[in-house]
């Protein structure tokens, strides 16, 4: 399993975290995702993760990576 962690600005509530989770889980190789809101960290786990597409998807939701 691969793992990518990235700092994301703008995650301020559970709904924000859920939006990111819904956009990523099952896409871009992501099989599991954890979001630490207080740290602004998103960690994606999966096989053959597509890091740039993951970053783009988060940015498309209005967050800054």
Mean pLDDT score, 40-60: 97
17-24: list long-range contacts, CB under 8 Å, 24+ apart: 19/61, 20/58, 20/61, 20/63, 23/57, 23/58, 23/60, 23/61, 24/54, 24/57, 24/58
Domains of the chain: 2-60 (3.30.70.100)
Taking only the tens place, the pLDDT of each residue in 15-35 is 999 999 999 999 999 999 999
What pLDDT is stored for residue 62 in this prediction? 97
What pLDDT is stored for residue 5 in this prediction? 98
Query: Do strands 2-7 and 30-36 pair parallel, antiparallel, or not at all (unpaired)?
Result: unpaired
What pLDDT is stored for residue 16 in this prediction? 95
Q: Mean pLDDT, the chain, as a whole number?
A: 96
Taking only the tens place, the pLDDT of each residue in 36-47 is 999 999 999 999
């Amino acid at each position: 399993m691969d793992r990518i962690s990235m700092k994301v600005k703008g995650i301020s509530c559970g709904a924000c975290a859920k939006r990111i989770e819904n956009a990523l889980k099952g896409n871009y190789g992501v099989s599991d995702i954890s979001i630490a809101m207080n740290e602004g960290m998103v960690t994606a786990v999966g096989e053959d993760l597509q890091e740039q597409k993951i970053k783009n998807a988060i940015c498309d939701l209005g967050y800054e990576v």
